[in-house]
C-alpha cells in the first residue's frame, strides 16, 4: 500500500524506503562498480562487466518514485540482470527530487548524466530507460536529446512511464480499483507527484504526453499494466509515437498492476514481460 503522500508525510516515506546495498545485489558476479560525481553535484553509479567488450552497448537508467522519492540504487537488480544477459555498461543517476527541486532540475540532472555517460564511454549503441517516474524522465531525456542535438540514442525503454500530468482518474473500466487500499500508485499520489514536480508550470519535456511533435525519436518499447492508472496515457503515447514514424513496441499486461515486475518478481506475467523486454533489446541491438 502506498501511504498518503503529502509534504508532511514525504520525509517519513522517504526514510522508510530501503533498497538493497549495491554489494548485496552484485554479490559474486563479475561486475565492477564505480561512483562518480559530476560538476554540479549529480552522482552517477556505473556498473559494467569486469571484462566488458570494446563495443559493449550502454544502458542509462533513471529510477522511479513518483518524482519525489527513491534513489539510484532502486533498479540495481534489473540492471545486474541486463548486464549479465547483454553485456551492458550501465549507469544510474541520482537526480534531485521534487518538491525541493521542481522542474526542470530533475530532468536537467538526468540529461547531464546522460551526456557525461555518452562522452565518457563513446557508445555506438546507447539506450535510455526506466520505470514509472523514471520512464517519464527517460522519455523527456529522449526529447531533450532530439531537440538539443544531444547524445544519439539507439532506443528508449519506457516501463509503465509517468507521462501525463493531466491524468487524475483511473480509466473508466478500472474505476472500481481506484479506492483499493493496496494499490501501488494511487491517483492521489500521482496528483501529489505532479504538483511537486511542476510547481504550477506546464512543460512537454516534464510531461512528454504534452509534446506535439514526437517525430525523430529513437525506437521505443512501452510497457504498462492493464490494471493501473497509467494504462491509457501510455497506450496513447505509444500510438502517437508510431503515428509519428517512431518504431514502437507496446505491451499491455492484462491484470498487472503498477510496477508489477518489481513487486511480484515471481509472477508468470513478470516472466512474460521480462522475456518481451529482452526480445526487444536483442532485436534493437542486433538488427537483422
Q: What are the DSSP calls for 6-58, one per residue?
A: -TTTHHHHHHH--PPPHHHHHTTSSEEEEEEE-TTS-EEEEEEETT--TT--E
**Would you state the pLDDT for residue 3?**
60
Residue spans of the domains in the chain: they are 10-285
Is residue 71 a contact partner of residue 168, using CB atoms and an 8 Å limit? no
Residue 106: DSSP 8-state: H
Question: pLDDT grade, residue 1 (50/70/90)?
Answer: very low
For residue 99, say if its preceding peptide bond is cis, omega within 30 degrees of 0.
Answer: yes
Q: Alpha carbon 250 to chain centroid distance?
A: 15
3-state helix, strand, coil in the chain (%, to 5): 40, 15, 45
Cβ pair 91, 60 in contact under 8 A: yes
The three-state secondary structure class of 60 is strand
| Joined grid coordinates for residue 55 | 563495443
User: Packing angle between helix 268-285 and helix 76-86, nearest 10 degrees?
Assistant: 50
pLDDT score at 178: 77
On whether the 10-285 domain is CATH 3.40.50.1820, my answer is: yes
Q: What is the mean pLDDT of residues 183-210?
A: 95
Q: Is 238 exposed, middle or buried (0-12, 13-18, 19+ CB in 10 A)?
A: buried
CB 164 within 8 A of CB 127: no
d(CA 179, CA 36): 42
Q: What are the residues facing 252 on neighbouring strands?
A: 224
| pLDDT digits 0-9 by tens, 224-257 | 999 999 999 999 999 999 999 999 999 999 999 9
pLDDT at 176: 84
Tell me the average pLDDT across 41-64.
Answer: 96
| Mean pLDDT, rounded, for 79-99 | 98
Q: Average of pLDDT values for 259-277?
A: 95
pLDDT at position 196: 98
Lowest average pLDDT, out of 166-170, 188-192, 222-226, 232-236, goes to 166-170
Confidence at residue 287, expressed as pLDDT on a 0 to 100 scale: 67
Non-local (6+) Cβ contacts of 236 within 8 A are: 209
pLDDT of residue 180: 77
Q: Please state, in angstroms and as integers, the Cα–Cα distance from residue 137 to each residue in 97, 99, 264, following that order.
A: 12, 15, 24
Task: Answer whether 136's CB lies under 8 Å from 95's CB.
Answer: no
Three-state SS for 131?
strand
Q: Which cell numbers in the block locate residue 125?
A: 549503441
Tens-place pLDDT, residues 109-119: 999 999 999 99
- For 129, the enclosing helix (H) or strand (E) is strand 126-131
Amino acid at each position: 500500500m502506498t501511504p498518503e503522500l503529502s509534504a508532511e508525510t514525504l520525509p517519513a516515506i522517504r526514510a522508510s524506503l530501503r533498497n538493497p546495498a549495491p554489494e548485496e545485489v552484485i554479490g559474486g558476479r563479475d561486475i565492477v562498480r564505480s561512483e562518480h560525481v559530476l560538476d554540479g553535484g549529480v552522482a552517477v553509479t556505473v556498473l559494467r562487466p569486469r571484462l566488458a567488450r570494446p563495443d559493449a552497448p550502454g544502458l542509462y537508467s533513471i529510477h522511479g518514485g513518483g518524482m519525489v522519492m527513491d534513489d539510484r540504487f532502486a533498479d540495481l537488480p534489473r540492471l545486474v540482470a541486463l548486464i549479465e544477459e547483454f553485456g551492458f555498461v550501465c549507469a544510474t543517476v541520482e537526480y534531485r527530487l521534487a518538491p525541493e527541486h521542481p522542474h526542470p532540475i530533475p530532468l536537467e540532472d538526468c540529461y547531464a548524466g546522460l551526456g557525461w555517460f555518452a562522452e565518457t564511454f563513446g557508445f555506438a549503441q546507447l539506450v535510455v530507460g526506466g520505470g514509472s517516474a523514471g520512464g517519464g524522465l527517460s522519455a523527456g531525456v529522449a526529447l531533450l536529446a532530439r531537440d538539443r542535438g544531444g547524445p544519439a540514442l539507439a532506443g528508449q525503454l519506457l516501463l509503465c512511464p509517468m507521462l501525463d500530468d493531466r491524468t487524475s482518474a483511473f480509466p473508466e473500466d478500472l474505476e472500481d480499483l481506484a479506492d483499493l487500499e493496496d494499490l501501488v500508485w494511487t491517483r492521489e499520489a500521482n496528483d501529489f507527484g505532479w504538483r511537486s514536480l511542476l510547481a504550477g508550470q506546464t512543460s512537454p519535456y516534464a510531461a512528454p504526453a504534452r509534446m506535439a511533435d514526437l517525430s525523430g525519436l529513437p525506437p521505443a518499447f512501452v510497457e504498462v499494466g492493464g490494471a493501473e492508472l497509467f494504462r491509457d496515457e501510455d497506450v496513447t503515447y505509444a500510438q502517437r509515437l508510431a503515428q509519428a514514424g517512431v518504431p514502437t513496441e507496446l505491451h499491455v499486461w492484462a491484470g498487472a498492476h503498477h510496477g508489477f515486475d518489481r513487486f511480484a518478481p515471481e509472477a508468470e506475467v513478470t516472466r512474460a514481460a521480462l522475456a518481451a523486454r529482452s526480445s526487444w533489446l536483442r532485436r534493437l541491438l542486433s538488427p537483422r
